[in-house]
Amino acid sequence: MGSLSNIVAVAAVVAALVAGGSCSPPNVPPGPNITTKYDGKWLAARATWYGEPTGSGPADNGGACGIKDVHLPPYSGMISCGNEPIFKDGKGCGSCYEIKCKAPEECSNKPVVVFITDMNYEHISSYHFDLSGKAFGAMAKPGLNDKLIHRGIIDMEFRRVRCKYPPGQKIWFHVEKFSNPNYLAVLVKFVADDGDIVQMDLKEKASPEWRPMKQSWGAIWRMDSAKPLKGPFSIRLTSESGKKLVATDVIPANFIENAVYKSNIQF
């Protein structure tokens, strides 16, 4: 593309933004990453929804985080896709946000909490929440969920909050399908406080050494090993703000693939 057409293209984008038009703004770059500041400040975003109007999003496919059964408690369908600064290449999986809307008139302006379980990289605004129908409707005044949902796309506000789970809910590890002694892939869920995990390390019972796992995708971390891994395995978690926790011997030596192992730890 020649420089003149570049300038014309940029001018067109600027004109569209200045007009603040009724059309979706073209290709808005993502905002800065949302971190664990918890400063209480509300930021502007746009909200859309997917799946069924009253639904929890796709119940069983696990989304880009790999977290299944999001229609069940404790998520109960209160879930959202985040764009780049929220999803953070999967490091944002499990993080929590308060969301609310002021307009249109169906909006209650009362915050509700959603969990990030998926990604959405359409560039319609710096921050974008593509919510389950249930979560989108939950921003409405009582009885007006359905009316709000029919707006399709609205402006909203959000802020990062610490994740809270029902009392007694500990962190769970799901040993992913196809795991074996040379390939152990583990999904982490129900992480309170920051909600998201930025590092997972593994220790074999007989070894003094913690070895870093690699983020596979979403909330799934993996260890590949030419030498067969020998359990039981302990897992060390590092949350986004740097806190560490160890789940001792949480995965047994005779683990099976596609199985849940519940820890007794929680942030």
Ligand X SMILES: *[C@@H]1O[C@H](CO)[C@@H](O)[C@H](O)[C@H]1NC(C)=O
Tell me the per-residue interface mask from 20 to 39 with ligand X, x by CB under 6 A, - otherwise.
-------------x------
Q: What is the DSSP letter of 86?
A: H
Q: Least distance to ligand X from the beta carbon of 85, Å?
A: 6
Tokens linked to 43: 């930021």
Question: Is residue 128 within 8 Å of 145, Cβ to Cβ?
Answer: no
Question: With respect to ligand X, which residue has the nearer C-beta, 78 or 116?
Answer: 116
- Smallest distance from the beta carbon of 93 to ligand X, in angstroms? 11
Q: Which is nearer to ligand X, 95 or 179 (CB)?
A: 95
Nearer of residues 56 and 239 to ligand X, judged by Cβ:
239
Residue 252, φ and ψ in degrees, nearest 5? -70, 160
Least distance in angstroms from the C-beta of 91 to ligand X? 4
Question: Which of positions 51-110 make contact with ligand X (CB under 6 A)?
Answer: 88-89, 91
Q: Do 107 and 140 form a contact (C-beta atoms < 8 A)?
A: yes
CB of 116 to ligand X, least distance (A): 13
Of 30 and 232, CB closest to ligand X: 30
Q: Toward ligand X, which CB reaches closer, 33 or 109?
A: 33
For residue 19, give both structure tokens.
């007009």
121 binds ligand X (CB under 6 A): no
Nearer to ligand X, 33 or 182 (CB): 33
Concatenate the DSSP letters of all residues of 209-265 into one string. --EE-EEEETTEEEEE-SSPP-SSEEEEEEETTS-EEEEEEEE-TT--SSEEEE-S-
Question: Shortest Cβ distance from residue 169 to ligand X (Å)?
Answer: 26
- 96 vs 244: CA distance, rounded Å: 19
CA quadruple 243, 249, 255, 260: dihedral sign: negative
CB of 32 to ligand X, least distance (A): 6
CA 8 to chain centre: 38
Residues in contact with ligand X, counted by CB under 6 A, come to a total of: 4
Residue 11 CB neighbours (<10 A): 10
Interface residues with ligand X (CB under 6 A)?
A: 33, 88-89, 91
